[in-house]
Structure 1
Amino acid sequence: MKIPASIRTIYEDQRDLNEKLKLEIDSKIKGLIEPRWHYESRVKELISFAIKLETGRVLKPHELEDFFACTIVVQNASQINVAYERISENFVICEKRPKSDDFTSKASNSFPFDDLRLYCKQKPNPILPPKELSEVIFEIQIKTFLQHAWSIATHDLVYKSDDANWSQERIAYQIKAMLEHAEVSIQQASDLANCEALKKDNREILSIKKSIDIIKKNWSKEDLPRDIRRVAQNILSACQLIDISLEVLDALLDEKKQQRGGTHPLNTSPYSTVVQYIIESNEAGFLAAIQSTKKRGKILIPSELILPTTLDRTRSVNAIFL
């Protein structure tokens, strides 16, 4: 596309400055975000710049507020405020769009682009002279992975096309409506789980819950990972393979804890501790389980465990030895 020289000149006047800004902001924001978040940025291309100016909505072409723009992507809607707080602590927020979190101008049956956008400047350093980059306004979008996925997957259908197609746009916004519903469901999962239609359990979940309760009873929060459920599932699987009920496990842990003066070993995992206790209390059942060709499942045996002298590794088809 042919770009008028006047527009090209305005673009060139801003490009170098914003490319320098990009290097600084990229470095700063990457130091602020969580490991599981995503970050990306760009400096606007000439053609995109020209088309935006031609909309007639840019009142200051020499100071385009999103010449440099970046995006922070968080897990779900509950993390948006966390990201917002980090930006507000480290940058000057000149404007926020939408302006309010609890008021919208869009109709209830409309799903336009309305992700959170912050128009920011760098905070001046009081002990250093002001820099030219400090006065450049740039855009930070904060969105969830579902919002980001929608914008990537449907961007060309909605914004960049060589044709106008009502059907394609309709599909894109139908998808956006479904993803917004998914976002609400994720954010309010705890509340939704208590509704009458969903408030149910099954045998597997009840067993995992009981296993979690036993683990929490025997180990402190500091001695457990954040993902207690997976630890509980691993212990439950080992008990099921050896035909030990959770009631028996609970009593066994109480007994062993008393024998050890009120503590379990701290140099090994809860899973390994349970396996060691089972070996000590039910050697025959343990050997029968790991040697049975009729059972499905494996038990991990770390080298730290004290094993029966009668154990035959060649026959232990249900054990993984470290």
Structure 2
Amino acid sequence: MAIPSRTLNAFRRVEPILEVVDRYVSSTLRPWCDGHGYPFKGRKKEIASLSEKLESGRYARWSQVDDLYACTIVVPTATHEDRVLAFLGQAFQEVELRKRNSTQKASDVFRFDSTRFVGKIQHFPGLDLPEEAGQVQFEVQIPTAFEYAWAVVTHDLVYKTNDFDWRKQRLAALLKASVEQSELLISGFQANVEVVPQSPHPESDAKQKVVKVFRDLIDLGHISKQMEPASWSRFSDNFYALTKSYSGFRAAPDKAVELATAIKSKIEEEGGYADLMSGSLFQIVIGMVGAGIVPRATLDSFTVIDSVELRDFHNLERVPKPFDFDS
């Protein structure tokens, strides 16, 4: 692509500073994003894209260009935005904040509209950066995961093509409408759950009862709060897999409820787990099955992580099928 000489010269003058901005902003944001589980991507603007942007007539002067360097922080949902913006406000000098849905948009229009933070590097004593680096504005986009996927998928299909096609624009808008619909469902997830009709499903019903039994035991203080699993869904899956290993597919739902009920009764009657801080909640279940709390319930076909807690706290001296750590 041919580039006007003045645009090319101006870009070449600022390009070394963009490298500095890129390194500084990336080294500031990437570790923070990694620590919070947010995908991060940064890029310096390409000269071809910059030239076309300047030819749009939207900019009156070079200093108005705010995305010579731009980066993206992808958040799961829009509720995470405030945390990101709070960190950006501490790390950089805010120039402008364009919140999602703040630009004028007709009700029947669907386009990119994520929150964008425009900032500059703050100079402070000891910061070894060229003074020019603090004059470059950069943009941080904060799309949700769905918005980011839509932007990545449609960008090359619609904007980097050899033609202009109304149908492509239309399809991109339809996809964005689907994204907004998904976002609405997610933002009101808990409320929407209440209006979803539930069909009977023995396995799901059994897992729900298992979770209730153990949550109640923890809430009532019979089991230490420390033993609460990271994921109740995964705990119920593991519990159900254990009962299925000794009862088979058809009997598993009833056997899961039977085992949970038996464990509940024993713990309520005898206690012993209110001060337990080591191991996992599932090890309580393994110990109970190993002790024969339910007739014909065994560990013979279930792989168990053998550990000192099973012996010291649950009196399980031998695991029939121990997990192999390849050591």
Q: Do both proteins adopt the same fold according to a TM-score greater than 0.5, normalized to the shorter chain?
A: yes
- What are the superposed Cα offsets for residues 160-219 of structure 1, whole Å, 9 maximum, x if unpaired? 211011111111111111011101111110111122x44677543443233223323243
Alignment-derived partner of residue 267 in structure 2: 253
Report the counterpart of residue 224 of structure 1 in structure 2: 228
Alpha-carbon distance in structure 2 between the residues aligned to 1:308 and 1:107: 66
Aligned pair in 2 of structure 1 residues 308, 229: CA closer, same or farther (>3 Å)? closer
Whether 1:214 and 2:213 are equivalent positions in the alignment is: yes
Do the aligned partners of residues 155 and 103 (structure 1) sit closer, same or farther apart at CA in structure 2, a change above 3 Å counting? closer
Whether the 8 Å contact between 2:3 and 2:48 is mirrored in structure 1 is yes
* 1:268 pairs with 2:272: no
1:131: how far off? 3.0
Map of 2:188 onto structure 1: 188
Compared with structure 1, are the counterparts of its residues 189 and 284 closer, same or farther at alpha carbon in structure 2 (3 Å cutoff)?
closer
The amino acid across from 2:116 in the alignment is: R
Could you tell me which residue of structure 2 aligns to residue 107 of structure 1? 106
> Which whole-Å deviations, capped at 9, do the CAs of 1:94-127 have from their partners, x for residues lacking one?
11224xx565410111012212111101223267
In structure 2, distance between residues paired with 1:183 and 1:107 = 18
Confirm or deny: 8 A CA contact 1:65 1:138 kept in the other structure. yes
Determine whether 1:290 maps to 2:304: no
Residues 157 and 169, structure 1, Cα contact 8 Å, conserved in 2? no
CA distance in 1, matches of 2:108, 2:101: 17
Distance in 1 (alpha carbons) for counterparts of 2:54 and 2:87: 32
Indicate if the aligned counterparts of 2:147 and 2:179 stay in contact, CA closer than 8 A. yes
> 1:102 and 1:151 mapped to 2: Cα distance?
16
Q: Assess, with a 3 A threshold, how the Cα gap between structure 1 residues 17 and 104 changes in structure 2: closer, same or farther.
A: closer
**TM-score, scaled to structure 2:** 0.81
Unaligned runs of 5+ in 2: 247-254
Distance 1:40 1:301, change over 3 A: closer
Q: Deviation of residue 10 (structure 1)?
A: 0.8
Cα separation, partners in 2 of 1:104 and 1:139, compared to 1, 3 Å: closer
1:224 aligned partner, one-letter code: E
- Taking structure 1 as the reference length, the TM-score comes to 0.83
Higher strand share: 1
> How far did 1:303 drift?
4.7
1:250 alignment partner, SS class: helix
Change (3 A) 1:253 1:32: same
Paired residue for 1:204?
Answer: 203
* 1:93 Cα deviation after fit: 1.5
The residue aligned with 1:156 is 156
Stretches of structure 1 lacking an aligned partner (at least 5 in a row): 292-297, 314-318
Q: Return closer, same or farther for 1:78/1:303 CA change in 2, 3 Å cut-off.
A: same
Q: Which amino acid aligns with 1:58?
A: Y
Root-mean-square deviation over aligned CA pairs: 2.9
User: Relative to structure 2, which stretch is displaced further, 222-231 or 67-76?
Assistant: 222-231
Distance 1:19 1:138 in 2: 12
**Could you tell which deviates more after superposition, 236-245 or 152-161?**
236-245
* Partner Cα separation in structure 1 for residue 36 and residue 173 of structure 2: 30
- Higher alpha-carbon deviation: 221-230 or 172-181: 221-230
Per the alignment, residue 44 of structure 2 pairs with: 43
CA 1:301–1:39: 2 relative to 1, 3 Å: closer
Identity %: 25
Cross-structure match for 1:121: 120
Are residues 1:53 and 2:54 paired? yes
Aligned positions, number: 303
Distance 1:312 1:268 in 2: 16
